[in-house]
Chain A
Amino acid sequence: MQFDQILQYTLSGLSTGAIYALIGIGFSIIYNATGIINFAQGEFVMLGGLLTLSCLELLQLPLWAAIPCSVAVATVVGVLFERLAIRPLRQPTPINLVIITIGGSILIRGLAMLVWGKDTHAIPPFSGDDPIAIGGATILPQHLWILAITLIIIVVNKIYFYHTISGKAMRACSYNRRAAGLVGIDVKRMVLFSFIISSAMGAIAGIIVAPLTMTAYDVGVMLGLKGFCAAIIGGMSSGISTVVGGLILGVLESLGAGLISSGYKDAIAFIILLLLLFIRPQGLFGKADSERV
């Protein structure tokens, strides 16, 4: 086995892993604020990509303007989703909420299919597609964008959750909703905030990966599932451990496909997920019953 091959597997794995991580963080933010797994998270990834496509092609916007536009629209969808589907619920038990998010995801996907059709669409890369050689391996400029944006988002998240009032309030909700309400934190508002943040992040993830993976009404399903895996490995934390979880998943997939068999690529990812859920449900890095966030 040659060194440059291993290097290529690792690099490919890291760049796909960063995508999973970004989506995974979206899952954990909502989980931490509301205690629910938002299975519609993948659909915001899809919306980000497809809305950018519409901004570029129908409105003829330049890329730098199309990105904030589509993030804004996707965020509005996220707000509507929270307002119309999550908030009116009389008995917000976890199982009800989970089923509602699944229903919501099917609805959003169906609408997207009607609006954009069933075809796959391509989005131009941000800065060319001439491969960059690192050792004997190559990556694309777009991979650097993904890694850089993931990094920025983690830093911004950290600052928000630890150094702003609303970030601290959201953490308070995740520890104990009731107590947070008693000290005057508007819990419902925090839930809405968490939906805003995670739908915006999902949309950003969808936009930066679209030039590589292309986009269609149904890309959210698989990417959402992989992001969910990353979040589970990271113990549903909205910080660095979900990112590490995503990277581990990406690298294992890539090494598995390269060294063992490409037929088992997805199986490897899901076996890891199942093992973790059996053995360490608190995540790879979490202590049992440790604080989340």
Chain B
Amino acid sequence: MKKVSLLLGSICLTLMFAAVSFASGTIKIGGLFSVTGPASFLGEPEKKTLEMLVKETNEKGGINGQKLEAVIYDTGGDATKAVQLATKLIKDDKVSIIIGPSTTGESMAVIPVVEKEKIPLISCAAGIKITDPVKHWVFKTPANDHVAAEKILNYMATKKQKNIALLTVTDGFGASGREQIKVLAKQKGFTIVADEVYGPKDTDMTAQLTKIRGIKPDAIICWGTNPGPAVVTKNVKQLGIKTPLYMSHGVASKKYIELAGADSAEGVMLPAGKLAIYDALPRNDVQSKLLKGYDQGYKKAFGTEASTFGGYAYDAFLLATGAIKKSGSTPDQIRNGIEQTSKLVSISGVFSMSPKDHNGLDLSAFEMVKVEKGDWVMIK
């Protein structure tokens, strides 16, 4: 009797150990971010966010008892390097999923590799062509630019502003915004009465704005990232232009108000991702708690404010881990899990993927906000 129980006991023990050792195999998550180079403002917060989340998850015991391991490489914003490193992640590090790259160019270069090797990729770049048309293994977390543009135009429609003056920056972001607004404006019956541009390093836009002032549009839409829009805002004030001024989601941070000056920025409207304005959100907003947690956790770990860009990596991490929890940790299971994601509350918005939509965000990812007394206020 004793012997039997001993035997049973030891069998149990062995089984338990076996189970533990089986489950304790780590899940490897690959990261490709442009931590250095011209796009480092994207890659750096993305890398930090992913590292922070992996650490947190492991401290809580991992996912289904399995620990996570992040293998992160710096692409330097170089598409060729991104492709080499993606191959390395798949062949040498044997990761189950890749998060990144940070820019559209790199993402497009990496797509053929992951499609061939059958590894899911969640890109942190905004370009619409990454997931349109849909690729089997490729997802992305930032909302498309046209969602932000549509948000502005919808708002303008309610104010009966029909004639738009465009002022866009001559880089990828500005060019994409300009294109999207033109297409949407045509669909929705707006008229583009002025189509001006400025260089990313320009320091004075009064010439363009004087021309726009002469045309007398109903609204001005400026599409760019700092510091250009801040200069535009100052110039608008200088020229005494009273036309409503809309900005893109590219400047949805306190930094923009600081640069333009609270006085000049007063009344400027833009579609903002919710991270920039989480303290202005209504209490019952589903994202509010998560956004606050992310911002405070990031501040504690790195001493700086969390940015929308880091949020893209956060979204990717939640999508990946959600899929692992639900369906399992092989690349195939993860891919299917991500595609079945529905109503996942995250930083950039609430994600609902489908075989036809590998971005999963809609107009609710943005809120129209307005600058009032040096702070963002939601437009009701």
Contacts and interface: CB of A to CB of B under 8 A. Distances in A.
B196 A262 contact: yes
Contact of A140 (B170, B196, B238): B238
A129 B204 contact: no
A130 B207 CA distance: 19
Nearest to B239: A138
B214 A139 contact: no
B203 A212 contact: yes
B227 A216 contact: yes
Nearest to B238: A131
Contacts of B172: none
Interface stretch (B22-30, B259-267, B291-299): B259-267
A118 B240 contact: no
A265 B208 CA distance: 10
B2 interface: no
Interface stretch (A5-13, A98-106, A234-242): A5-13
Contact of B238 (A13, A138, A213, A262): A138
B211 interface: yes
B234 interface: yes
A218 B264 CA distance: 24
B258 interface: yes
B210 A9 contact: yes
* Residue among B40, B170, B204, B260 with the highest chain A CB neighbour number at 10 A: B204
A129 B211 contact: no
B268 to A, nearest CB: 15
Contact of A262 (B40, B198, B239): B198
Given A129-B261, A214-B259, A5 B211 contact: yes
A257 interface: yes
Contact of A120 (B170, B210, B259): B259
B199 interface: yes
A16 interface: yes
B207 A258 contact: yes
B296 to A, nearest CB: 21
Contacts of A221: 201
A59 interface: no
Interface string A128-145: 010100000011100000
B214 A2 contact: yes
A262 B203 contact: no
A254 interface: yes
Contacts of B261: 122, 129
A33 to B, nearest CB: 29
Contact of A138 (B214, B240, B259): B240
B278 interface: no
B202 interface: yes
Interface in A1-52: 2, 5, 8-9, 12-13, 15-16, 19
A219 B207 CA distance: 20
A265 B210 contact: no
A129 B237 CA distance: 9
B206 interface: yes
Contact of A258 (B170, B198, B208): B208
B231 interface: yes
Interface of A: 2, 5, 8-9, 12-13, 15-16, 19, 118-122, 129, 131, 138-140, 209, 212-214, 216, 218-219, 221-223, 253-255, 257-258, 262-263, 265-266
Interface of B: 40-41, 170, 196-199, 201-204, 206-208, 210-211, 213-214, 226-227, 230-231, 234, 237-240, 255, 258-261, 263-264
6 contacts: A9-B207, A119-B255, A122-B260, A213-B203, A257-B207, A258-B210
Closest 10 A-B residue pairs measured CB to CB?
A213-B203, A257-B207, A12-B206, A120-B227, A222-B201, A258-B207, A254-B207, A8-B210, A262-B196, A262-B208
